[in-house]
């Protein structure tokens, strides 16, 4: 669809050239002597500069790529020749990344990503999460760099993949989000190391998992012999990978300390929250107890 001009190194001579002739892939496209004779395939889209021998061609198509040669006979001089090669490219469009539809499981499944676009691609670059993608470990690429193979997929293969396709006249980018199901793994329970009777305790269970794991809890009362004090087991299950993992968390009992100094020391050592409230409740408890005894 574009245009190109082949410019010779000749300056306009004192006397016009005897003849100027251009060939394309060794087929004559225009010859100029006293008249111009133009090949039918190039008629209405070719222009010759008779004074320098330069040629301009427009409405280019892929059929126009190849070797162009010029032959010029100056007045009273020997024939001059020149040659060049033209590459014609289609503007790239409709870039996409395709991948076989499948549910991918880390360590088991394999897949591939193929970059495609309308037009002739000269170069393909792959990017993952904003960084260049390198063929390492479980990742290989095809000879033309158009396809990335992941075998087997890993949890770190999750993310956004971009492919940048280009040729000398255009470039396009396509994106694809790859989901690899994995886990649960790195399961942990977050909560206090100890708790006093009568206080509320919150235990939070987490695990790395795609899709998010479902959690179940189990409390072992036999080992402790006291309600709520003992081992809490959290089990995370991934319904896609079929895997599960567990972790045990122990909550031990802090005996109620009846001495104000001991409570203060505990606050400083443990850096417990709401220590002022604990002291306040301590005094209220004992004042009410004393009042009840006096009334009795």
User: Residue 30 in contact with residue 55, Cβ under 8 Å?
Assistant: yes
State the Cα–Cα distance between residues 88 and 91, nearest whole angstrom.
Answer: 10
Question: Which of 15-29, 48-62, 133-147, 210-224 comes out lowest in average pLDDT?
Answer: 210-224
What is the pLDDT, as a whole number, of residue 285? 53
Q: Is 292 helix (H, G, I), strand (E, B) or coil?
A: helix
What is the pLDDT, as a whole number, of residue 254? 52
Of residues 175 and 197, the one with the higher pLDDT is 175
Nearest to 148 by CA among 178, 100, 99, 113: 113
User: What average pLDDT score do residues 42-65 get?
Assistant: 94
Write the CB contacts of 175 (distance below 8 Å, at least 6 apart in sequence): 97, 160, 161, 162
Burial of 267 (0-12, 13-18, 19+ CB in 10 A): middle
Q: Which fold has domain 4-86?
A: Immunoglobulin-like (2.60.40)
Confidence of residue 19 (pLDDT cuts 50, 70, 90): very high
**Residue 130: how many CB atoms within 10 A of its CB?**
8
Confidence of residue 296 (pLDDT cuts 50, 70, 90): very low
Report pLDDT digits (tens) over 211-258. Answer: 999 999 888 644 335 556 778 889 999 999 999 999 998 877 654 433
**Residue 25: how many CB atoms within 10 A of its CB?**
12
Confidence of residue 200 (pLDDT cuts 50, 70, 90): confident
- Give residue limits of the domains in the chain: 4-86, 96-178, 183-251
Residue 257's region, left for phi above 0, alpha for psi from -120 to 50, else beta, is beta
State the Cα–Cα distance between residues 175 and 97, nearest whole angstrom.
Answer: 6
- Top-tier CATH class for 96-178: mainly beta
Question: Mean pLDDT for the chain?
Answer: 85
The string over 232-248, giving b where at least 16 C-beta atoms fall within 10 Å of a residue's C-beta and e elsewhere, is bebbbbbeebebbbebe
What is the pLDDT, as a whole number, of residue 219? 83
User: What average pLDDT score do residues 68-92 get?
Assistant: 94
70 pLDDT higher than 80? yes
What is the pLDDT, as a whole number, of residue 276? 54
95 pLDDT higher than 70? yes
């Amino acid at each position: 669809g574009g245009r190109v001009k082949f410019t010779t190194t000749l300056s306009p001579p004192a006397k016009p050239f005897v003849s100027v002739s251009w060939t394309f892939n060794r087929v004559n496209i225009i010859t100029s002597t006293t008249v111009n004779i133009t090949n039918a395939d190039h008629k209405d889209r070719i222009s010759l500069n008779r004074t320098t021998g330069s040629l301009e061609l427009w409405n280019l198509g892929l059929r126009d790529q190849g070797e162009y040669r010029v032959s010029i006979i100056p007045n009273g001089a020997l024939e001059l020749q020149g040659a060049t090669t033209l590459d014609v490219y289609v503007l790239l469009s409709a870039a996409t990344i395709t991948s076989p539809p499948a549910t991918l499981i880390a360590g088991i499944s394999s897949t591939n990503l193929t970059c495609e676009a309308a037009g002739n691609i000269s170069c393909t670059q792959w990017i993952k999460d904003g960084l260049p993608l390198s063929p390492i470990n479980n990742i290989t690429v095809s000879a033309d760099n158009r396809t990335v193979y992941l075998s087997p997929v890993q949890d770190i293969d999750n993310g956004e993949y971009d492919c940048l396709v280009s040729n000398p006249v255009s470039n396009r980018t396509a994106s694809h989000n790859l989901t690899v199901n994995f886990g649960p793994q790195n399961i942990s329970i977050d909560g206090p190391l100890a708790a006093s009777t009568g206080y509320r305790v919150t235990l939070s269970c987490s695990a790395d998992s795609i899709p998010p794991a479902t959690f179940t809890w189990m409390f072992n009362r036999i080992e402790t012999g006291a309600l709520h004090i003992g081992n809490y087991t959290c089990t995370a299950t991934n319904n896609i990978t079929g895997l599960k993992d567990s972790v045990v968390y122990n909550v031990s009992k802090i005996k109620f300390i009846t001495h104000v100094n001991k409570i203060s020391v505990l606050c400083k050592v443990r850096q417990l929250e709401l220590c002022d409230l604990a002291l306040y409740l301590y005094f209220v408890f004992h004042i009410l107890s004393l009042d009840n005894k006096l009334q009795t």
